[in-house]
């Protein structure tokens, strides 16, 4: 069977018309769109940035407006009444300066003005909410069809202003009133769909829109945004030549919303374009407040890949109470790895979705400590080359030099309490930032190993301890590795195993013991 011809890559294109008319690859999501329309009326979806939310909204817009030619050959085509055409009001908060108290009002004023001009309806009210409601009513009366309302990046005016709490609260309160119009004029509305990155609580933002159905963690819609393995293997088959298929999966797959896993579309499209494995999605803008928040809350980088939480925590957050795990999950830096049902409630184990996120986030966390990107790059390169040579003395000196470079005032200003967790996190982040095969807190029948590294046909098992003084005699960390026989779990690999006991001094704020033995 021959491979189909290559098409254009729709990098950055968020409108269906251009994709369909100009021979771009398109992953058909119209069966899911039809299911939504047939089974409900008001929906909300949270997905990370650059996952295809805007394209899906545009697909809904073109569908309701009845542009049949764009849907020839797609799943929805034989099941849609193409004679019915609905007026569509689409809003997007993708652009605008929302740190200014008037930024949100100006953005909505501009968009309402454009819609009023588009439909030939003069503004009969001065305030935003009145104009929105009046436009819904006028369009329904003119067309004798209920109105469709699509809102993209509904939460951006709040997220952009998180560093300005009073502005963020004002934006939230303004949007609460704006969105409540959808419920008040339900009789004139055919369908509504809101998308964003975050899920703010109904109490804080959707108190006036309590009939909104949240499909974020609905397994039936797990693949509504993103590409599946089948999509990669069929639709994008012409792009796979010369690329290692398992490597694509390792780098970019792994996002789960209680259903089939998906790839980040932005990563996949850029990989096919540039033919190199890189951190495409992460480099488009990881919010600095997120990384700073992790340090402020003293969240261990090791613990990120072992996060346990509940449905209630994941489902929402508010300006005054942003749960760390909810923020990381909703923004795409953690994903659901496993679900457990306990006493009629779902609990989740979260972890990094793929190599790109684990590597990049740890690199960003290190950057706060090092504050010198050139030095950080040199440290990482040295670490890699020392591992290649199995140079343990060199590794000890490298990490000793790194901890010594952290200024005293950093410790004082950050109020470190769990020194063992902090030191171990720094150690782990260096390995993870290189994209190495690292396992943390690996459990056995005798305990929980701090860290394991598989590299270059060797296995390295690490145990970390904080001690009051420089060790005399045998390392306690190394002794624990041997006593608990952690190496036994890795012997089936038939590779040399090294035990590394690392001991830190809280007083010296550095490594005071680095003992190595072969298991």
Residues 404-448: tens digit of each pLDDT: 877 665 555 556 556 677 788 888 899 999 999 998 877 666 678
With a cut of 80, say whether residue 516 has pLDDT above it: yes
Residues 228-242: tens digit of each pLDDT: 999 999 999 999 999
- Least confident range from 256-270, 293-307, 334-348, 490-504: namely 293-307
Q: How far apart are CA 230 and CA 243, in angstroms?
A: 16
Say what the pLDDT of residue 300 is.
79
Say what the pLDDT of residue 244 is.
97
In the predicted model, what is the mean pLDDT of residues 366-386? 86
Confidence of residue 252 (pLDDT cuts 50, 70, 90): very high
For residues 136 and 185, the answer to whether their CB atoms sit within 8 Å is yes
With a cut of 60, say whether residue 381 has pLDDT above it: yes
In this predicted model, which residue has the larger pLDDT, 55 or 298? 55
Specify the residue for token string 């190496």.
487
Q: From 492, 490, 462, 456, select the one nearest 478 (Cα to Cα).
A: 462
Q: How far apart are CA 152 and CA 94, in angstroms?
A: 7
Do strands 510-518 and 307-310 pair parallel, antiparallel, or not at all (unpaired)? unpaired
Summary mean pLDDT of the chain = 90
Say what the pLDDT of residue 10 is.
98
Confidence of residue 109 (pLDDT cuts 50, 70, 90): very high
The pTM for the full model equals 0.91
Q: How far apart are CA 142 and CA 264, in angstroms?
A: 41
> Residue 232 belongs to what H/E stretch?
helix 229-234
Q: What are phi and psi of 259, to 5 degrees?
A: -155, -155
SS3 call for 49: coil
Task: Report the residue count for the chain.
Answer: 519
> Residue 132 belongs to what H/E stretch?
helix 128-143
Neighbours of 229 (CB within 10 A): 15
Say what the pLDDT of residue 284 is.
82
Residues 152-205: tens digit of each pLDDT: 999 899 888 888 889 999 998 899 889 889 989 999 999 999 999 887 765 566
Say what the pLDDT of residue 289 is.
72
Outline where DSSP puts E strands in 23-71.
Answer: 42-46
> Residue 345 belongs to what H/E stretch?
strand 345-351
Say what the pLDDT of residue 467 is.
86
Confidence of residue 367 (pLDDT cuts 50, 70, 90): confident
Angle of CA points 13, 178, 59, to nearest 5°: 25
Which residue segments constitute the domains of the chain, with CATH numbers given?
28-221 (3.40.50), 371-518 (3.40.1350)
In the predicted model, what is the mean pLDDT of residues 125-151? 95
Token code pair at residue 321: 């109470």
Say what the pLDDT of residue 444 is.
66
């Amino acid at each position: 069977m021959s491979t189909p011809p290559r098409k254009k890559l729709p990098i950055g294109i968020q409108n269906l018309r251009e994709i369909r008319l100009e021979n771009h690859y398109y992953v058909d999501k119209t069966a899911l769109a039809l299911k939504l329309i047939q089974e409900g009326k008001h929906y909300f979806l949270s997905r990370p940035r650059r996952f295809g939310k805007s394209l899906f909204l545009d697909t809904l817009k073109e569908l309701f407006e009845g542009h049949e030619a764009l849907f020839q050959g797609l799943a929805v085509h034989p099941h849609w009444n193409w004679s019915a055409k609905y007026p569509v009001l689409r809003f997007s908060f993708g652009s605008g300066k929302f740190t200014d108290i008037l930024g949100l009002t100006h953005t909505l004023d501009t968009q309402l003005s454009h819609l009023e001009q588009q439909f030939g309806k003069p503004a009969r009210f001065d305030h935003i909410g009145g104009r929105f409601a009046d436009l819904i009513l006028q369009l329904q009366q003119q067309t004798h069809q209920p109105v469709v309302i699509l809102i993209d990046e509904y939460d951006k005016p709040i997220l952009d202003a998180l560093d300005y709490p009073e502005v963020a609260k004002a934006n939230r309160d303004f949007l609460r009133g704006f969105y409540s119009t959808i419920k008040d004029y339900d009789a004139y509305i055919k369908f509504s769909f809101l998308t964003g990155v975050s899920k703010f609580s109904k109490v804080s933002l959707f108190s006036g829109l309590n009939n909104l159905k949240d499909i974020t963690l609905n397994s039936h819609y797990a693949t509504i945004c993103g590409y599946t393995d089948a999509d990669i293997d069929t639709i994008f088959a012409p792009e796979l030549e010369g690329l290692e298929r398992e490597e694509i999966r390792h780098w970019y797959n792994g996002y789960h919303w209680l259903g089939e896993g998906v790839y980040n579309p932005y990563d996949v499209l850029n990989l096919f374009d540039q033919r190199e494995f890189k951190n495409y999605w992460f480099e488009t803008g990881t919010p600095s407040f997120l990384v700073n928040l992790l340090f402020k809350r003293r969240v261990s980088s090791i613990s990120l890949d072992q996060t346990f939480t509940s449905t209630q925590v994941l489902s929402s957050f508010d300006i005054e109470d942003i749960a760390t795990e909810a923020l990381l999950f909703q923004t795409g830096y953690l994903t659901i790895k496993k679900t457990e049902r306990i006493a009629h409630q779902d609990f989740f184990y979260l972890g990094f979705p793929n190599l790109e996120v684990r590597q990049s986030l740890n690199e960003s966390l290190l950057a706060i400590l090092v504050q010198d990107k050139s030095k950080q790059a040199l440290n990482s390169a040295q670490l890699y080359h020392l591992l290649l040579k199995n140079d343990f003395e060199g590794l000890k000196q490298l990490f000793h030099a790194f901890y010594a470079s952290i200024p005293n005032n950093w410790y004082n200003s950050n109020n470190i309490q769990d020194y063992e967790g902090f030191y171990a996190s720094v150690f782990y982040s260096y390995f993870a930032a290189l994209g190495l095969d690292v396992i943390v807190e690996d459990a056995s029948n005798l305990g929980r190993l701090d860290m394991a590294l598989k590299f270059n046909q060797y296995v390295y098992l690490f145990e970390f301890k904080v001690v009051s003084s420089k060790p005399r005699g045998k390392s306690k960390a190394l002794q624990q590795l041997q006593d608990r026989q952690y190496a036994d779990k890795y012997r089936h690999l038939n590779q040399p195993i090294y035990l590394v006991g690392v001991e830190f001094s809280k007083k010296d704020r550095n490594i005071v013991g680095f003992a190595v033995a072969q298991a």
